[in-house]
Every structure is written in C-alpha cells, then in structure tokens.
C-alpha cells in the first residue's frame, strides 16, 4: 500500500513539477509570475481536443500541432501584452498576466462552451500494469515519468551548454549587460515564453487526461504547481521539480490519512514556506521574496 | 572613426549633456575626464543607446561613416563598438568561461572564437585559473579583467571603458592601464572615462575635459598636465589659497 501511495504521489508530483518548471522559466528570466500559465495550457489542451475530435487526426499529429500552437501562443502573449507595457514594474506585468488569464478563459468559454468534456488522451489512468508483485503503475504515470525526465534532461543540457541557453541565463542576471553583449533581449524573452508555454501545455494535457476538460480545469493544478515551485524555490529548475515531487507525496499521504482535507494541503504548504523560508528550499542565489 | 556632433541627452526634465561634440581618430587612446556628474558616463551610455529610446534628443553620432544614434544596442555591438560598463557588471552566476563566451555572442566563427579565448587567457592568465568559477566570486580586479576580456571577445574596433580603475588598488590600476595600452597596440581604438585624471593623462594620447555636461577643454595630455587649472582642480596640486580661485574656475567653465 505504501509503495502504491509513493508511486502515485511521485507521478502527480512530477506533473506538478513539470508545470512548475513552466512557471519558473518565465520567473527566472523576468521575475514575473505568469498567472496566465494555467489558461495558456488550457487553451492548448482545447486545441488538441478540437483537432482530435473534429478533424480526427492521429494522436501524435495532434500532439505536435498542440506544441506548435502553444509556442506561438506564448510568443503572442509576450509580444502583444507584455512588451508594449511602458516603463513596466514587475507587479504591473503580473497584473497583465492576470488580465491575459481572464481573456483566455473567456475565449475558451466562448469557443468550446463551459460544459465538461472528456479529453481523449493516449495514456489512460485506468490501464495499469503490474511491474513488480503488488505494485501496479498506470500508463498515465509512466507517461509522466518519461516525459518529465526527457524535458528535465533537455532543459539541463540546454541551459548548461547551448549558446542561447547561456544567453537566457545571462539576460536574467543582468539585462543591460546582456544588451551590451549584443544579445537581442526581446527575442530572448519571446523564446522564454514559447518554451514555458510548450512545457505548460504538455503538463496541462496530462492534467486534462486525469480530470475533465473545461475552461476552469487548470485553476487548481496551476495553484498547486505554483505551490510546488515556491516550495522548491522559483529560481532553481531542479528545485522546482523536487518541490513538485515533495508536494505530490505530501498530498498523497495526507489524502490517504484524512481524505476530506486533501485539497487544502498544497495551500497550507505554500503559506508555511512563505512564512518560514520565502526563497524556497533550493533557491541558491540572492534572497527575494516571492 | 567616431564622430559626435552636438548631442543633447535628457533624463526626464534634466539635461545631462548640453550639446557636446568631439571626434576620435583611429588608433588613439582618448580619455574623457571630469568630476562627478559631469556627464562622462552619460556620454558613453548615449553612444551605446542604453538610455531611453528617444535619447539622444538632438545631434548625431557617426561610427565609421554610419549614423548610429538610432540603432539598437545590439546592432551597435555588431558594428564594432564594445563597452565595459562602470562597476564591471559581469554575469555573477555564470562561470568565467561562460561570461567570456557571452562576449562572443554576435560571432558565429567557432574557430576564431576559440583562438580569441586562448588569446584572452594569455592576456589575463588569472582568468584561466578561475575558468570554472562563478564570476560573482571573483575579486574586483579579476572581475574588471573579465569584463575587459568579455568586451574584447566581439573583436571591437572601438573599446569604451567606464572607470576601469574604480575600486582597484593603485597597483592593480596600473596593471589594468598597461593592459589597455597593450590592447591599443593591437589596433583597437580606446575611449576611456576616468576620475583618476593623473593615471588617464599618463596613458592617453588625447583628452577631453567635461564639466556640467559640456566639453570645456580638449587637448593633448602633455598640455593639459601643465595647465594651471587642471593642475589645481584635477591633479590636486594646490597653488591657490582662497576659495576665490575655485569660484573663478567654475565661472570660467560654465559659460562655454
């Protein structure tokens, strides 16, 4: 039983972690907490749903279409909403993302309606495999593990070794110095949003497969992923993943012991972390409150 | 190679540069001198277009015959101007090597970049020893060397340095200036902003003296060094006993 709880907790935690990473990438480059992240993922999932159910394309093609759409959406929001802001403060930009969130939610409600839908995802929670005697893992969890691992490794290599990845870190540390190096910082911001939106969309599709699809479905996962990101320290990507996994485990064990209190655990965690260690568990650089 | 005509720069309602003009010839070491708030750093930032988008409000800046006063910073770097900002501004959480690599961001010739990295490590051997350390953990002098190495990685034709001696010991200052001279000998033109007038006059071929956003003197260092006013107010060799002399000097430089 314990190992079952652990596996389930790890899976949902990895999913939180993945979505938290999407939030953290934008936070890292511009210190903006993107409150529209959940709804960007939601819209992308709806696009996947649309091409799957209306045009009946195979799943892998729908997945690619969704990823491309998510990247374009991320860039579009950065270019249309954030860039024109004159003399922006961080708080002002955060409010703009809140506005973008409402806009996207309204858009989804208008196009696809508010009723709940089933998202026809390739990997289902119901199909399980017994990998060890007494330990069953569903396909959904396996998918999460694989994708989370692939994305993490990719991000690690990207930020460590690629020129663009290093330039993104440089821009985050000192925008003016980055400009002097000849880095096009505006383009860096657009790429950041595209990457973040892509990762968020992957996570959102997993969340949709687990619950239902409606314009509000990303609200709670977003808050939890945000809690996970705060727990790990928003500036460290591995920290965010560990935070997500920790949160998933805490939630699962807590939910096993007191099922009726399960939904609030994440928020209790966020409050405790913000009061006790506002920079998160793994943030290594300068202390900054979230 | 760089010709500035009548530029005016404003910070909101404050005019920081009151229409300054000067020219820099290829191969020179030019020093821009003056006291606090004279507008030296503003001049460099105006050239790099690091201020608001609508600055400079008036005037033109030409580099190798091309207008650059409305280009983006990144395009100016590509044209061959490099800038070492005041207070180093290295990327604190990137390693020394990553910092140097960022300096070559505009270049795509991998081979040439690698050669230049080798050259930088010869010029600044200490950076080679620290190559995998985070730049934020370096000492002030090492950070200054890193900032210069980083700026040289774009193979600039003109290198602008803002207060390279800031916060360094006299010995290190001397070392930095010797290195600047070496860089100049390799064909890079240098524009230097300094408060340390003595040092700057020693190493430059030409100097401009700024005061209240205007250029008040432009001459060879040998001439400036013998000038009574410069001696008194910048080199600190006092001959005047009362405050009258200081007042007279202020009046003299104000109405140019």
Residues A35-67 have pLDDT tens digits of: 899 899 999 999 998 888 888 888 888 889 999
- pLDDT band, very low/low/confident/very high, at A175 (cuts 50, 70, 90): confident
Average pLDDT over residues B87-116: 88
Whether the per-residue pLDDT at A194 is higher than 90: the answer is: yes
In angstroms, the Cα distances linking A93 to A174, A179, A286 are 18, 21, 21
- Interface check for A187 against chain B (CB to CB < 8 A): the answer is no
pLDDT at A73: 93
What's the predicted TM-score (pTM) here?
0.84
CB pair distance less than 8 Å for A179 and B93: no
Say how many Å lie between the first and final Cα of chain B, rounded. 26
A142 Cβ contact partners less than 8 Å away, ≥ 6 residues apart: A123, A129
The DSSP output letter for A189 is H
Q: Share the mean pLDDT of chain B.
A: 84
CA distances (Å), B244 to each of A180, B38, B224, B249, in order?
44, 21, 22, 9
CB pairs under 8 A between A and B: 65
Say what percent of chain B tops pLDDT 90. 4
For residue B255, name the pLDDT band (cuts at 50, 70, 90). Answer: low
* CA distance to partner chain B, nearest, from residue A122 (Å): 41
Shortest Cα distance from A153 to chain B (angstroms)?
Answer: 19
End-to-end CA separation in angstroms for chain A: 37
Which pLDDT score is estimated for A288? 40
pLDDT digits (tens, 9 = 90+) for B152-181: 898 888 999 988 888 788 888 888 888 888
Which of A171, A181, A184 is the best substitution to test chain B (most B C-beta atoms within 10 A)? A181
What is the biggest distance separating any 2 CA atoms in chain B, rounded to whole angstroms? 62
**Position B73 confidence tier, pLDDT thresholds 50, 70, 90:** confident
pLDDT digits (tens, 9 = 90+) for A9-33: 888 889 999 999 999 888 888 888 8
Chain B interface, Cβ < 8 Å to A: 48, 50, 72-74, 77-78, 82-83, 85, 89-94, 98, 101-103, 105-106, 150-151, 154
pLDDT at B51 over 80: yes
Q: Say how far apart CA B42 and CA B14 lie, in whole Å.
A: 12
pLDDT at B124: 87
In the numeric block, the tokens 């010995």 are attached to B171
Q: What average pLDDT score do residues A99-124 get?
A: 84
The chain B residue lying nearest A87, using CA atoms, is B52
Does the beta carbon of A162 lie under 8 angstroms from any beta carbon of chain B?
no
> According to the model, what pLDDT value does residue B252 have?
66
pLDDT at A72: 95
Q: Which residues on chain B are in Cβ contact (under 8 Å) with A167?
A: 102, 105
The answer to whether the CB atoms of A182 and B74 lie below 8 A apart is yes
Averaged pLDDT for residues A92-117: 87
pLDDT class of A193 with cuts at 50, 70, 90: very high
pLDDT interval class at A190 (50, 70, 90): very high
pLDDT at A287: 42
Mean per-residue pLDDT of chain A: 85
pLDDT at A289 over 50: no
The average pLDDT across B195-224 equals: 84
Q: How is chain A split into domains, by residue range?
A: 22-215
- As a whole number, mean pLDDT of residues B27-42 equals 85
């Amino acid at each position: 039983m314990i190992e079952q709880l652990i596996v389930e907790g790890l899976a949902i935690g990895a999913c939180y972690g993945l979505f938290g990473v999407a939030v953290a990438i934008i936070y890292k480059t511009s210190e903006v907490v993107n409150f529209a992240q959940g709804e960007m993922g939601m819209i992308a999932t709806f696009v996947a749903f649309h091409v799957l159910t209306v045009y009946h394309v195979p799943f892998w093609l729908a997945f690619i279409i969704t990823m491309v759409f998510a990247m374009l959406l991320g860039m579009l929001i950065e270019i249309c909403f954030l860039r024109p802001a004159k003399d922006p403060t961080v708080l002002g930009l955060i409010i703009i993302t809140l506005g973008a969130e409402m806009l996207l939610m309204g858009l989804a409600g208008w196009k696809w309606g508010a009723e709940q839908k089933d998202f026809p995802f390739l990997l289902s929670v119901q199909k399980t495999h017994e990998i060890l005697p007494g330990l069953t893992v569903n396909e959904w969890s396996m998918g999460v593990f694989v994708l989370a691992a692939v994305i993490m490794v990719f991000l690690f290599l990207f930020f460590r070794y690629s020129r663009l990845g290093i330039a993104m870190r440089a821009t985050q540390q000192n925008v003016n110095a980055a400009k002097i190096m000849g880095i096009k910082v505006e383009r860096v911001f657009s790429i950041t949003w595209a990457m973040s939106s892509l990762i968020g969309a992957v996570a959102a599709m997993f969340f949709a497969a687990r619950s239902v699809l409606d314009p509000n479905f990303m609200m709670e996962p977003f808050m939890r992923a945000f809690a996970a990101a705060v727990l790990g320290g928003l500036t460290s990507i591995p920290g965010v993943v560990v935070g997500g996994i920790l949160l998933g485990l805490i939630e699962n064990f807590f939910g096993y012991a007191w099922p009726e209190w399960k939904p609030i655990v994440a928020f209790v965690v966020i409050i405790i972390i913000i009061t006790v260690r506002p920079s998160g568990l793994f943030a290594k650089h300068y202390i900054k409150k979230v | 190679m760089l010709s500035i005509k009548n530029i005016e720069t404003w910070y909101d309602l404050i005019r920081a540069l009151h229409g300054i003009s000067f020219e820099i010839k290829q191969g020179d070491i030019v020093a821009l001198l003056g006291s606090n708030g004279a507008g030296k750093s503003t001049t460099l930032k105006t050239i790099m277009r690091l201020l608001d988008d609508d600055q400079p409000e008036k005037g033109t800046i030409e580099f190798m015959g091309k207008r650059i006063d409305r280009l983006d910073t990144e395009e100016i770097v590509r044209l061959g101007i490099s800038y070492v900002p005041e207070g180093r501004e290295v990327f604190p959480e990137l390693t020394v090597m990553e910092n140097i690599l960022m300096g070559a961001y505009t270049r795509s010739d991998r081979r040439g970049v690698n050669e230049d990295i080798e050259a930088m490590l010869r010029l600044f051997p200490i950076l080679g020893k620290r190559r995998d350390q985070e730049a934020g953990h370096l000492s002030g002098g090492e950070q200054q060397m890193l900032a210069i190495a980083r700026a040289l990685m774009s193979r600039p034709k003109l290198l602008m340095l803002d207060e390279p001696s800031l916060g360094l010991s006299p010995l290190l200052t001397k070392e930095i200036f010797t290195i600047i001279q070496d860089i100049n000998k390799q064909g890079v033109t240098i524009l230097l902003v300094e408060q340390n007038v003595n040092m700057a006059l020693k190493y430059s071929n030409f100097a401009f003296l700024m005061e209240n956003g205007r250029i008040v003197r432009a001459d060879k260092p040998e001439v400036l060094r013998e000038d009574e006013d410069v001696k008194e107010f910048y080199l600190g060799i006092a001959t005047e006993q009362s405050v009258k002399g200081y007042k007279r000097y202020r009046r003299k430089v104000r109405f140019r």
